[in-house]
Structure formats: structure tokens, C-alpha cells
């Protein structure tokens, strides 16, 4: 029975794509997200076996985690009216099988397709996923020339792990494909061990890759027989016949095919890394992809230069494994400074993170680098085409640094406030330590047993061994005098290990910050530069640092006498207009062009459909804020560079006015219910801040409301009658957060509502006064909960399921909104008989500002009093460009930059 015109859940089926052993495939419309998808409906008998369903669900979850530009994405496994179906990315274009029917594919085009297939297999293998059924029919080529590998791992997910195999069955037959105990893989592309029913590993995909590559080069199937039995016999017994290959095929490719098609699994390639590299090297061979063996040897003799140099000078390279061009310019002389740009693949963007700073790191030998996106950390090797997402990282992976051997990467998980390390190949991250506050995303893995980082706001500059996991404080924060002494960032142990070079970040900007050298023994300090951050001593005898000049952040260099701890010359500008940089020990410089975006944020209204309306307020460093109950104004925390103050924006007059003027840090405003006064957090009377009150029109003085011993106290919500203020009490060392209340009156009384070993934060009382929403980490990750109020012990319910923060109530208390990274979700609340929370629904998604740690995500968005729209903060990426266009997403690379540095800034 045709499914066309019917609906499954919120998917409207519009056409049939195909039918196979694992079910029928349809094109459908996702009515929620407004996108076309592919639907694979699994056979009816599948649903009758609960063990198979459970097994398939486990496998599908793993498959859905694959995130690679050459792998067709699986969006989810759904069920509607007892029909189980997969929701997958809809790929346009022909399959390789369709292309092969027209004849052999030209060698260079075929190798470009093969390279993308190899990159897809390599990425999946690194996540522990084996395809098991690779064949031309499972590979699509889009009209733009991008390869997409389909049905990754579905053969195993569908058939399971049974080993009672029937050699006469083939997955190409729909009846047999529904049976458990099937041979996983289509007969003509099976490896010998598959055909024999033996246990398999990723080398079955390497065999199939060789068969597919042979077929696209020749237009002929390598082992196809008259029936399944004869086909399997050829796989097991016949040696590959390479006589049909192009006579001038590159010798690397011939050797590649021989290694992929070794019947003895021990002699086959052990990973897809090797064939991928062979294809890359054949493609970038200056002699071309069709050369004789002698020509290749001659080419090696002429170049005498590693393949990295060839890759660097490919000026037309576009990453991501899509269409790209090659040129054959002369190779550079050793030591020559080489410049080229790396543009991020289409759809990728740098992730500025909550601090507005990008993640960028280069390996000590300069051969590979990583950069941060919303998807996670991407790895790029200089001698390879394309980038690869490091599995196990995500948009919360901030800052990065390579291990000395280039095999590991250390980074900060901003959501968990932990320092972690991960293999460059991806996998399960290893926790190194938790932070007292949060780890500022500038980390340095300086030696085999030393990682340096800064833990703020009250921790300091620290050192940790990547194996021991016990941090040692090198420089303590001094919260009593942050304005003068600043926060210690960018620590570097200088050669000799007697002194530490670091930045005193005073305020949020560069103007008052300074570079300091400190004795490790006495603690004596010497200021080297003011108006500077990110100082680093180089093996060339220079210190480089970042300073601002007319809103442009530039890299300066000065010669430095390490013995005297003195500069021996003036600063010289080396790189202008950069927003993040990284330098390898070998002298390769990376930098992202453009100004730092941290200081430019704009305001927008966003309705429930996700449509934005800009607010004509000048770009500023806006952060925590609340809308007044009458809807006419919003109060913000604005970072002034030396501290923070409360500002008020009038939506009608479009005027921003300042409410507080002290050097103390004032933040986290909360309007009283009559919109006349503002409660806010301030450190004006000590190292830990309390809650204060001030008239919103600026008249009168500032009234102290409450201070909690040994904790920072923040105002978060008022009860519906205005008699109770709900607060968050937080200490950063050790991390601890509780929710309290202040009963208003002549002598305000304070007591705790939620306290204990878990962190509870961001309390919000419902407008009807009966419920309190908040976040807690009691389940391991931050989730949203609701309790009764004011008696919180009468009932408790979990609202979010996959992470959540900063809840907001609708004015009628019937909907609760919350954020989960870049998503805004809504949950219907029914209290007619008893409290019932609906299923979280995605409201809209966008790149809006939020702090580093969701447990600190106090007031980064708000709902309008009518409940129809939300006030959000956006990063302004346009810089000083009057057009407002975003800057190119690129990394500038300078090889042998040390040569330029030594020439322009001589060292005595």
C-alpha cells in the first residue's frame, strides 16, 4: 500500500525514493522544521521483535552521532501508529551506481570521489562505526560534486549480532534481508571473512572500498557472478584482475588497490588513514594522477621536499573534501616565508563562545591545527585535504592546545566547567579536573607533564599534570583587589623555570591590562608592558603580545633579554587586525583576521517563530538583563572595561542611560514589580557581593538589602505580591550554589530553600505565585525542575530532558520556556487537577549570547510582559564594516614566520 500523501507524526510523505531489503524509502516534509527529509520505513515484522527494536535503537543512537560532510545524517528513529521509521538527510543527485552505468569515471574525478568516501569511512571508524554494506548504490554524488555515503552501519543495526549465517542469503534480496543471521553486506562487495561468516572489523569496509574504487575506475564490477553462489565463490577464490584499469594509473593507486583487496586480512590496510593519504598524494603529485612508476621516482628526486610543501602552495584549495583545484607552482626554498589562507567549509562558522574569543591551536611541529565551531573542534592537517570533526567534542569545547607529540588535545568543557583531554582521533574525553569557577579558554600544554590554564574568577593561574589530575596554583587571584592586580591569564613558565610570564587582565579590555614577569620563588613581579594581553616568550628571543590601536587588535614583538628579564628594543607591529592567533614551536603562525567581537553585542526581539527584529541600541558589552514589568525599559549589566555597571535602555526614546557609577562591579539587575526600583548584585562593600536597591530614575541613594557570609548573592525573582525576593547564593571555591529567599520588611530575613551537595540556580517564581522553576545538576547535567511554592516540599517535577538552563514563565503561568545551548524550548503546564508538564518543544534556535557555564546563566534573555516575544543578545560580527556583512570565516597561515620576525625585530 502506497504511503504517498499520508503522514507519520509530523512528517508528510510526498514521494517514494526506493525500496530495499531494509524497508521502503520515501521523501517527506518535516512540518515542524520546514525541511525535506528521507524516511526509511522498516518492515512490519521488524516491530514484532522487541529485542530487535531495542537493539536497533541502540545502534541508531550511535549512528546519529556521526557528523561528517560526506556522511548522510540520521536525524532520528521515530514511531507512529506502530510504524518504525528512520528520519534521514535527503540527498539530491545520482548514486555512483547510476554514474557507473554510463561507463568508467575519469581518473582524477574518480579519485576525488574516492577521497571523500575514504574520509567518510575514516571518520566513522574513529567513532567505532563500520558500514558493512559499502557499494556504489549506497553512495550518492550531489550536483555540486560532493559525495554522501548512505546507510552507515544500518546493516548491523538491522540484522543484529547473530553469527548463525546462511551463505545462500544476500541482503540484496528483501526477503532474506529481514532474517536474522544474515550475511551483512551485498555479495559482490563482501570481504572474504564476511563471506565465510567470520567475525569482522573495520577492514571489511577497506575491502569494499577497494572494490568500489576498482568499479568506478573501470566501469566493471570486480567479483560479480551469475548468482549469489558464484559471486561469493569469486570473492573467496579469484584474484583481482587489474588489467582493466587505465594503463597509466598512478602507481600509488595500483598499490592501494592491491593492499585493499588482500584476501588475508592480516595483509590488508589496517585503517582507512593509509588509503586516504595515498589518494591525496596521488592527487597532489606535480606530475599528475596518471604517471609511470619511473616518473614518480623522478618527481621525488626533483622535489626533495615533503608533501606538506606541496599542500601549502595549493592556492585554490577548498577544504571539506568537495570540489577543489590544483596548481603546479614551483616549490619554495627552505626557510622562505609562505602565506596562504584556509577558508572554512561552507556552513561552518567559528564559535566565539561566551567570552567572544575563538578556539585556535597549532601542533608544536606546525603540521596540524584545530579550530572551534558550534559542532565542536575540527582538525586540519597541512598535508591533507579537508577537515575532520573530533568526535567527542561539541560547541562547549572551548580553547585548545596540542600535546607536545601532537596526538592529544586539551580543552575546557565550558558547560561542565572542567578541563579535559581527548585524542586527536576523537573518542571519549578524559576529565582532568574541575574548576573552582570556570576555566578561561586559553590553555597551554607546554611539556609532557605540564598543562597551564587559568581558573577564574577566584581560582588563579594553575598547573596540572595530564596524568595526575591534581592542579597546583601558580598565581592566586586576589579578589580584594581585582581592579589593580587583575585576573592572571596566559601563564607561561619561562626557560629555567624560575619565572612566570602572565597577563594581569584588569577589567574586560586591553587598555588597563598588563604583561608581568613573576619570580616563582619570591613572588616578586615586574611589569613589562601596559595596555597589553597574551604575552608569550618565543625561542627566537622575543616576547610577542596583543595590544589595541584604533579598535584593531594587533600582534607586537619586542626583543627580550631572558637573563636580565628586560626588553632590549621597542615594540614592532607584526600582525594587524587579528582576533585570535596561535604559533607553533617550528615557527608557523595562524591567525583569524578581524577584530575581537567580544566588545560588540546588539539587542534583538525574537518572536516565537524565531523571527528577529533589531533594536536600535548601539553595540555595547551587554550581558545580564531584565525587562521592566511595564515593558517600557530593560536594565542591563554593561562591562565598562574596568568594571561593570547597571544601564537602562528606554525602548520608546531609544536612549541608554547609566544607573550606577562606582568602580565596584555592579551586575544582575532585577526590577521591582512596580518598575520603579532595581535590585542588583554588587561587590561595593567587600570581596563577595550582596544585593542592593536603587531607584530606577537615578534619584536617591543605594540601599543595602542582604549580604550572605562567604558567598556571592544575586537577586533573581520576586514573589507575586513582592514580599519575597528569591536569590541565588554562589561560591566558586569549591563550586556551590543554593537558592534562598529574603522576606522583605523593616528587617529583611534570609533563609535557604534549596541547599546541599548539588548546585541549584536560576530560580523563577511563576506569575501566579504557586510554582518555582530552577536548574539543578543533581542528574549529572544541568536540567530544569519545578517545585511548589512557597512550600517547596509539596511537589517536584523534572521539565527538561536533554539539558536546560535559565527558565522563563509565560505571563499566564501556563508555559515554561528554557534554553539549551542555542535552542529555546517551550513546555506547556497544566495545573487544572494536578501539575502536568508537557513534552519540550523546540521554539526557535539561534546564535544568541549565553555565559560560559549554564549554572551561571542568570539573565541573558527575557520574555516580554505580554509573553509574545523574547529579548536576546547577539554578537556583532560586522566589526567596523559599514555594510554590516559578516567577515570571511578564514584562518591566515604564515609558514616560517620566525624568519620574518628575526629580520624585522633583530635580537642583540
**Residue positions annotated with a catalytic role:** 133
Q: Which of 425, 465, 430, 431 is nearest to 445 (CA)?
A: 465
Strand partners, 149: 71, 139
Which residues fall within 8 angstroms of residue 698, CB to CB, at 6 or more apart? 657, 659
Task: Report how far apart, in Å, the C-alpha atoms of 117 and of each of 276, 374, 426, 548, 611 are.
Answer: 9, 24, 19, 46, 38
Asked whether the beta carbons of 516 and 536 are under 8 A apart, the reply is: no
Task: Report how far apart, in Å, the C-alpha atoms of 685 and of each of 482, 669, 699, 707 are.
Answer: 14, 17, 21, 9
- H helices of 580-629, in order, are none
- H helices of 272-417, in order, are 273-283, 293-303, 307-312
Q: In this structure, is the dihedral angle defined by the CA atoms of residues 374, 377, 383 and 384, taken in order, positive or negative?
A: negative
Asked whether the beta carbons of 848 and 857 are under 8 A apart, the reply is: no
Distance between CA 680 and CA 667 in Å, rounded? Answer: 6
Give the 3-state secondary structure of residue 529. strand
Residue 399, Ramachandran bin (φ over 0: left; ψ between -120 and 50: alpha; else beta): left
Distance between CA 372 and CA 379 in Å, rounded? Answer: 9
Which residues fall within 8 angstroms of residue 1, CB to CB, at 6 or more apart? none
User: HSE on the CB side for 250, CA within 13 Å?
Assistant: 23
Cα dihedral 644, 648, 654, 656 in deg (nearest 10): -40
Which 3-state string (H, E, C) describes 755-803? CCCCCEEEEEECCCCCEEEEEECCCCCCEEEEEECCCCCCCEEECCCCC
Q: Which three cell numbers stand for residue 319?
A: 577544504
DSSP secondary structure, 291-305, as one string: --HHHHHHHHHHH-S
Q: Which three cell numbers stand for residue 146?
A: 560532493
Residue 81, Ramachandran bin (φ over 0: left; ψ between -120 and 50: alpha; else beta): left
Give the 3-state secondary structure of residue 670. strand
Strand partners, 824: 819, 844
Distance between CA 389 and CA 398 in Å, rounded? Answer: 14
The DSSP secondary-structure symbol of 811 reads: T
Report phi then psi at 593, rounded to 5.
-70, 150
Q: Which three cell numbers stand for residue 82?
A: 506502530
Amino acid at each position: 500500500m502506497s504511503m504517498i500523501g499520508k503522514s507519520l507524526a509530523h512528517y508528510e510523505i510526498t514521494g517514494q525514493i526506493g525500496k530495499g531489503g531494509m524497508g521502503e524509502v520515501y521523501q517527506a516534509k518535516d512540518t515542524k522544521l520546514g525541511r525535506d527529509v528521507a524516511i526509511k520505513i522498516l518492515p512490519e515484522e521488524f516491530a514484532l521483535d522487541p529485542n530487535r527494536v531495542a537493539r536497533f535503537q541502540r545502534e541508531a543512537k550511535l549512528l546519529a552521532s556521526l557528523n561528517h560532510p560526506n556522511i548522510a545524517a540520521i536525524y532520528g528513529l521515530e514511531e507512529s501508529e506502530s510504524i518504525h521509521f528512520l528520519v534521514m538527510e535527503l540527498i539530491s543527485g545520482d548514486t555512483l551506481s547510476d554514474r557507473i552505468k554510463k561507463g568508467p569515471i575519469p581518473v582524477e574525478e574518480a579519485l576525488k570521489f574516492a577521497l571523500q568516501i575514504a574520509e567518510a569511512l575514516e571518520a566513522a571508524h574513529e567513532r567505532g562505526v563500520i558500514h558493512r554494506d559499502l557499494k556504489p548504490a549506497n553512495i550518492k554524488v550531489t550536483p555540486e560534486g560532493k559525495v554522501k555515503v548512505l546507510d552507515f552501519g544500518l546493516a548491523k543495526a538491522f540484522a543484529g549480532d547473530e553469527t548463525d549465517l546462511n551463505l545462500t542469503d544476500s541482503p540484496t534480496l528483501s526477503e532474506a534481508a529481514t532474517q536474522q543471521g544474515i550475511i551483512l553486506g551485498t555479495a559482490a562487495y563482501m570481504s572474504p571473512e564476511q563471506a565465510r561468516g567470520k567475525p569482522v572489523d573495520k577492514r571489511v569496509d577497506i575491502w569494499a572500498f577497494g572494490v568500489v574504487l576498482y568499479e568506478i575506475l573501470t566501469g566493471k564490477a570486480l567479483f560479480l557472478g551469475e548468482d549469489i553462489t558464484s559471486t561469493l565463490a569469486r570473492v573467496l577464490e579469484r584474484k583481482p584482475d587489474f588489467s582493466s584499469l587505465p594503463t597509466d594509473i598512478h602507481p600509488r593507486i595500483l598499490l592501494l588497490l592491491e593492499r585493499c583487496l588482500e584476501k588475508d586480512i592480516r595483509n590488508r590496510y589496517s585503517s582507512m588513514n593509509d588509503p586516504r593519504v595515498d589518494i591525496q598524494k596521488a592527487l597532489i603529485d606535480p606530475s599528475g594522477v596518471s604517471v609511470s612508476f619511473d616518473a614518480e621516482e623522478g618527481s621525488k628526486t626533483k622535489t626533495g621536499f615533503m608533501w606538506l610543501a606541496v599542500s601549502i602552495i595549493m592556492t585554490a584549495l577548498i577544504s571539506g573534501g568537495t570540489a577543489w583545484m590544483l596548481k603546479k607552482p614551483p616549490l619554495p626554498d627552505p626557510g622562505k616565508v609562505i602565506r596562504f589562507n584556509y577558508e572554512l567549509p561552507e556552513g561552518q562558522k567559528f564559535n566565539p563562545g561566551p567570552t567572544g574569543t575563538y578556539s585556535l591551536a597549532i601542533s608544536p611541529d606546525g603540521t596540524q591545527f584545530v579550530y572551534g565551531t558550534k559542532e565542536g573542534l575540527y582538525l586540519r592537517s597541512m598535508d591533507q585535504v579537508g577537515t575532520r570533526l573530533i568526535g567527542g567534542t561539541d560547541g562547549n569545547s572551548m580553547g585548545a592546545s596540542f600535546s607536545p607529540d601532537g596526538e592529544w588535545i586539551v580543552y575546557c568543557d565550558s558547560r561542565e566547567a572542567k578541563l579535559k583531554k581527548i585524542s586527536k582521533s576523537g573518542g571519549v574525553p578524559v576529565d582532568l579536573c574541575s574548576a573552582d569557577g570556570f576555566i578561561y579558554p586559553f590553555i597551554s600544554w607546554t611539556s609532557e607533564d605540564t598543562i597551564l590554564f587559568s581558573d577564574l574568577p577566584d581560582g588563579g593561574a594553575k598547573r596540572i599534570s595530564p596524568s595526575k589530575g591534581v592542579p597546583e596554583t601558580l598565581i592566586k587571584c586576589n579578589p580584594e583587589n581585582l581592579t589593580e592586580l587583575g585576573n592572571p591569564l596566559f601563564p607561561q613558565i619561562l626557560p629555567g623555570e624560575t619565572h612566570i610570564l602572565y597577563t594581569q587582565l584588569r577589567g574586560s579590555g586591553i587598555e588597563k591590562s598588563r604583561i608581568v614577569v613573576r619570580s616563582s620563588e619570591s613572588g616578586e613581579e615586574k611589569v613589562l608592558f601596559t595596555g597589553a594581553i597574551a604575552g608569550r616568550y618565543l625561542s627566537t628571543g622575543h616576547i610577542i603580545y596583543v595590544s589595541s590601536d584604533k579598535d584593531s587588535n594587533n600582534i607586537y614583538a619586542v626583543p627580550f633579554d631572558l637573563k636580565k628579564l628586560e626588553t632590549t628594543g621597542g615594540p614592532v607591529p607584526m600582525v594587524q587586525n587579528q582576533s585570535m592567533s596561535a604559533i607553533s614551536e617550528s615557527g608557523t603562525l595562524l591567525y583569524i583576521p578581524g577584530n575581537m567581537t567580544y566588545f560588540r553585542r546588539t539587542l534583538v526581539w525574537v518572536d516565537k517563530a524565531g523571527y528577529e527584529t533589531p533594536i536600535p541600541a548601539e553595540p555595547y558589552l551587554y550581558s545580564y538583563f531584565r525587562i521592566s514589568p511595564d515593558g517600557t525599559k530593560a536594565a542591563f549589566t554593561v562591562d565598562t572595561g574596568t568594571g561593570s555597571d547597571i544601564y537602562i535602555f528606554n525602548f520608546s526614546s531609544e536612549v541608554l542611560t547609566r544607573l550606577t557609577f562606582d568602580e565596584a562591579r555592579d551586575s544582575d539587575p532585577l526590577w521591582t514589580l512596580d518598575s520603579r526600583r532595581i535590585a542588583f548584585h554588587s561587590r561595593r562593600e567587600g570581596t563577595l557581593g550582596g544585593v542592593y536597591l536603587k531607584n530606577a530614575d537615578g534619584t536617591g541613594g543605594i540601599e543595602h538589602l542582604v549580604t550572605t557570609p562567604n558567598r556571592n548573592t544575586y537577586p533573581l525573582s520576586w514573589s507575586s505580591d513582592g514580599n519575597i525576593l528569591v536569590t541565588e547564593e554562589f561560591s566558586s571555591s569549591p563550586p556551590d550554589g543554593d537558592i534562598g529567599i529574603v522576606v522583605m520588611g523593616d528587617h529583611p530575613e534570609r533563609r535557604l530553600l534549596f541547599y546541599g551537595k548539588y548546585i541549584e540556580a536560576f530560580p523563577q517564581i511563576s506569575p501566579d505565585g504557586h510554582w518555582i522553576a530552577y536548574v539543578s545538576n543533581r542528574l549529572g547535567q544541568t536540567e530544569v525542575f519545578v517545585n511548589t511554592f512557597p512550600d517547596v516540599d509539596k511537589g517536584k517535577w523534572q521539565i527538561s530532558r536533554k539539558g536546560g538552563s535559565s527558565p522563563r514563565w509565560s505571563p499566564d503561568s501556563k508555559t515554561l520556556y528554557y534554553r539549551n545551548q542555542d535552542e529555546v524550548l517551550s513546555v506547556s503546564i497544566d495545573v487544572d487537577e494536578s501539575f502536568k508538564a508537557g513534552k519540550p518543544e523546540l521554539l526557535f534556535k539561534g546564535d544568541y549570547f549565553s555565559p560560559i557555564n549554564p549554572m551561571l546563566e542568570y539573565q541573558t534573555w527575557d520574555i516580554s510582559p505580554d509573553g509574545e516575544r523574547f529579548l536576546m543578545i547577539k554578537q556583532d560580527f560586522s566589526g567596523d564594516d559599514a555594510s554590516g556583512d559578516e567577515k570571511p570565516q578564514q584562518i591566515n597561515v604564515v609558514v616560517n614566520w620566525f624568519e620574518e620576525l628575526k629580520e624585522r625585530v633583530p635580537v642583540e
